[in-house]
Amino acid sequence: MAWTCLWTAASPPFDIAPKISPPSTLRRSHRDRARAGKGRAINFNAKEYENMSYAIAGFGAVGQALARMFARKGIEVAVASRRQPEALAPQATVIGPTIVPKTLKDALEADIVLLAVPYGEHREVAKARANWKGKIVIDVTNSLDDLGGVPSSSVVARALPGAQLVKAFNHLPARVLAEDPAINGARRVVFLSSDHESASATVATLVERLGYAPVNLGKIAEGGQLVQARDGIWGPLIFQDLFKKVQ
Ligand SMILES: NC(=O)c1ccc[n+]([C@@H]2O[C@H](COP(=O)([O-])OP(=O)(O)OC[C@H]3O[C@@H](n4cnc5c(N)ncnc54)[C@H](OP(=O)(O)O)[C@@H]3O)[C@@H](O)[C@H]2O)c1
């Protein structure tokens, strides 16, 4: 797959390919790398990706938009909130048969957890597990609080010791995230930033499986600032609904 250019619906294509990193070659997650031998980067095969489990913590506007992405591709995902699974079941059924309501505790057993709760609730979700080691958490939250210049995802990462955090899916409104990401041979862009390269590569693969085009911005405190909300000020890439042609 070759990556050519990005454009918005409102503007002609413009070539930014030299400025961005294509998704890295696939590497095993932290846990698998540890199993295989420290520091060794080994490609996942398709079967291993199929066997990964996913959960969405938070089943409001964004949680349901994320669930639609999984439903569109027939990928099973657990969904959870503070309510009991039965309370989420009617909406889950509307979205699709691969959306499985669970208790928060059970949902957080998944390999990859998408955090889609209000920013202030991330600590409550963090407390629901004694140990986050080996998990990848995709941080979809935005904070309008003044965090003294610290990226909100760095604060979330600190609350989840052992987890590898990747910031993604936070830059678009829920109603846009719920739309089909494939338009005229191009795919809607999802920005990734993380301090963990292997987790970022794993999430890039998920993003591709869901039908989006991952664009790696680098570390959270560096490229991640482009998708950071700060005391009511949006990073320049927030709300940028870009598409990437896939050849
Ligand atoms: N809305 C957007 O367009 C948009 C876009 C990008 C990113 N975001 C970010 O995404 C996050 C969610 O936004 P939203 O608009 O989806 O909010 P929302 O509609 O209010 O939904 C929040 C969800 O989180 C659940 N929740 C709250 N506290 C929880 C806890 N402690 N444990 C488990 N579940 C909990 C709520 O369910 P219960 O009350 O049943 O627990 C609800 O399902 C926010 O951080 C927001 O900044 C929003």
The secondary structure element, H or E, covering residue 94 is: helix 85-95
Q: Is 55 in the pocket of ligand 1 (CB under 6 A)?
A: no
The more confident residue out of 135 and 20 is: 135
| Protein residue with least CA distance to atom 15, ligand 1 | 61
How far is 66 from 132, CA to CA, in rounded Å? 22
The number of the ligand 1 atom at minimal distance from the alpha carbon of 82 is: 41
Given a cut of 50, whether residue 203 has pLDDT beyond it is yes
Which CATH superfamily includes the segment(s) 3-246?
Answer: NAD(P)-binding Rossmann-like Domain (3.40.50.720)
- Quick one: pLDDT at residue 3? 40
- Contact partners, residue 175, CB within 8 Å, separation at least 6: 61, 65
Report the candidate in 2, 1, 4 with the shortest Cα–Cα distance to residue 243: 4
Render pLDDT for 63-100 as a digit per residue (tens, 0 to 9): 999 999 999 999 999 999 999 999 999 999 999 999 99
Locate the ligand 1 atom nearest the alpha carbon of residue 59 and give its number.
Answer: 43
Pocket probe mutation, ligand 1, options 81, 127, 141, 228, max atoms within 8 Å of Cβ: 81
Among the listed residues 145, 167, 144, the one whose alpha carbon sits nearest the alpha carbon of residue 154: 167
Task: Please tell me what DSSP assigns to residue 202.
Answer: H
The CA R_g of the chain, rounded to the nearest whole Å, is 17
* pLDDT per position as a tens digit, 113-125: 999 999 999 999 9
* Tokens of residue 152, six digits: 């909100």
Query: For residue 202, what pLDDT is reported?
Result: 97
Q: Is a pLDDT exceeding 70 seen at residue 43? A: no
Q: Give the list of residues 6+ apart from residue 72 with CB closer than 8 angstroms, or none.
A: 96, 180, 210, 211
Atom from ligand 1 closest to the CA of residue 104? 33
Return mean pLDDT, the chain: 85
Q: How far is the CA of 94 from the centre of ligand 1 (A)?
A: 19
Q: What is the pTM of this model?
A: 0.87
The CB of 81 under 6 Å from ligand 1? The reply is yes
Question: Is 108's C-beta closer than 6 angstroms to any atom of ligand 1?
Answer: no
